Amino acid sequence: MCTEDVFRLTHRGGASATMSEAPATEPVARRTGASVTRRGALLGGAAVAASAALGDSAQASERPVFAGRHHHLRDLTYPLTTSFPAFTPGEEAARQTLVTIPVDGFYLQEWRIIEHIGTHVDAPGHFTIGGRLSPELQLSELITPAVVVDIADRAAHDPDATVTVDDLRRFERRHGRIPRDAAVLMYSGWGAKVGDADAYRGTDAAGVLHFPGFHPDACEWLLQNRRIRSLGVDTLSIDPGNSATFDTHLILTGADRYGVENLANLDRIPPRGATIVVGLIPYEAGSGGQARVFATW
C-alpha cells in the first residue's frame, strides 16, 4: 500500500511536515574506477547548496499562491515495486542492483518496466494513431483542478460498477459544477485490494477482469459539456475491467486528453477544491509513463 504522507505548509513561518517515512538524501558522486573523486564530492556539495538556495527562493515565490493559513498536500502515488499488480500477468516490473557503495562508491539499480505499470499516465497516443505522446503534454495540462466522484458503496457490491452520467449530475447537485479543464477522478475503494494482484484484477474463471471504471457515456458527457482535461481512477484502467473494446480510452484519447491509472488515497482529498499535479516522466516517444501524482488544496 502507498505510504500516507501528509504535508502541511504554513503560510506564516515557512514549512512544517509530518511524514510517516523520510528517505535519506545522498549527494551526487562522480566515479573514477572504483572510487569517488574529490572533484565529484565538491560538485555534489555545490549541487546541494544550489538546491537549498533554490528551495528558499521557491518558498518565497510560492507564498502568495498559498492562500489561507494552511496548505495541504496528499500523495496519490503508489511506490513502484516488483509486486505491483500488472494489467496482464508477466508485465510486472523487475529490478536488479548494478553497483553498491562498498564496492563502487555509489548505489545504482537497473529496472525493467513497461510504461503502463504502477501509478501512470495514458497519453493520447496510447490508443489514438497520431495522438500526442508523453513529451508533448504540457505543464498546463498536467496541473489542473480536480474533482473526486465516489462510487465506492456501489463498487463494493458490483465490481463492474462504472461512473455514469447520473453519478456526475448527482455530484454537481451536491458539490457544484465540474470546472473546465478538470481532472475527474473516480474513487471506488479498489486500493484496498492492491496487495493481492488477483483480487485487484478481479479475474474470473473465464479470464475476464472485473474492476470499476468510467462508462463511455460519462466520458463523452464530460468532454462535450465540461471540457475536462483528464480522467483518473484507483484501478488498472479508466475502462471497467470487463470491457473488451476500451471505448472510454478511445473516446478520451481521441479527444486529445489523457488518463491516469492506479491512483492512491483519493478518499483523502476533498471532492472539490483540490489541484492535481501529474509529474509525468517524458519518455521519448512514450505512450504514457510513470508519474508522481499529488493533490494540493
Q: Tell me, what CATH number does 165's domain have?
A: 3.50.30.50
CA neighbor of 212 nearest in space, from 193, 195, 229: 193
**How far is residue 55 CA from its own chain's centroid?**
23
- What range does the domain containing 170 cover? 120-296
pLDDT value of residue 69: 52
Question: Do residue 71 and residue 124 come from a single domain?
Answer: no
176/38 same-domain check:
no
Same structural domain for residues 143 and 268?
Answer: yes
Assess if residue 204 is contained within a domain: yes
Residue 27: pLDDT above 60? no
Tell whether the model's pLDDT for residue 193 goes beyond 50. Answer: yes
Domain boundary among 75, 108, 133: 75
| 71 and 125 belong to one structural domain | no
For 113-169, what is each residue's pLDDT tens digit?
999 999 999 999 999 999 999 999 999 999 999 999 999 999 999 999 999 999 999
Residue 62 has pLDDT above 50, yes or no: no
Average pLDDT over residues 173-185: 98
Whether 96 maps to a domain, the answer reads no
Q: Would residue 134 count as lying in a domain? A: yes
Instruction: Give the pLDDT score at 121.
Output: 99
Mean residue pLDDT of the chain comes to 84
Query: Residue 81 domain-assigned?
Result: no
Rounded distance between C-alpha atoms, residue 259 and residue 246, angstroms: 13
What's the total number of domains in the chain? 2
Contact 89, 205 (CB under 8 A): no
pLDDT of residue 70: 53
Q: What is the pLDDT of residue 8?
A: 37
Mean pLDDT, residues 244-269 taken together: 98
Tell me the pLDDT band of 56, cut-offs 50, 70 and 90: very low
Q: pLDDT by residue (tens digit) across 72-124?
A: 999 999 999 999 999 999 999 999 999 999 999 999 999 999 999 999 999 99
Say if residue 56 is in the same domain as residue 128. no
Whole-number Cα distances in Å, 186 to 37, 61, 166, 195, 241: 50, 33, 14, 20, 14
The pLDDT tens digits of the residues spanning 270-297 come to: 999 999 999 999 999 999 999 999 999 9
**Residue 152 counted as domain residue:** yes
pLDDT of residue 1: 47
> Are 281 and 183 contained in the same domain?
yes
**pLDDT digit string, tens, across residues 196-232:** 999 999 999 999 999 999 999 999 999 999 999 999 9
Is residue 23, in this structure, part of any structural domain at all? yes
pLDDT at residue 71, rounded to an integer: 86
Identify whether residues 125 and 24 lie together within a single domain: no
At 132, list the grid cell: 500526442
Task: Examine the domain organization and report whether 134 and 71 are in the same domain.
Answer: no
80 within domain boundaries:
no
Considering the domain architecture, whether residues 137 and 276 belong to the same structural domain is answered as: yes
Mean pLDDT of 54-83: 65
Mean pLDDT in residue range 16-29: 36
Q: Which of 48, 75, 102 is the last residue of a domain?
A: 75
Is pLDDT at 65 greater than 70 in this prediction?
Answer: no
Query: Taking Cα atoms as reference points, which of 292, 290, 293 lies closest to residue 113?
Result: 290
Same-domain check for residues 139 and 15: no
Residue 274 in any domain: the answer is yes
144 and 259 together in one domain: yes
pLDDT-based confidence at 237, cuts 50/70/90? very high
CA-wise closest residue to 160 among 258, 237, 76, 64:
237
Mean pLDDT of the region 30-50: 38
With a cut of 80, say whether residue 41 has pLDDT above it: no
Domain co-membership, 12 together with 152: no
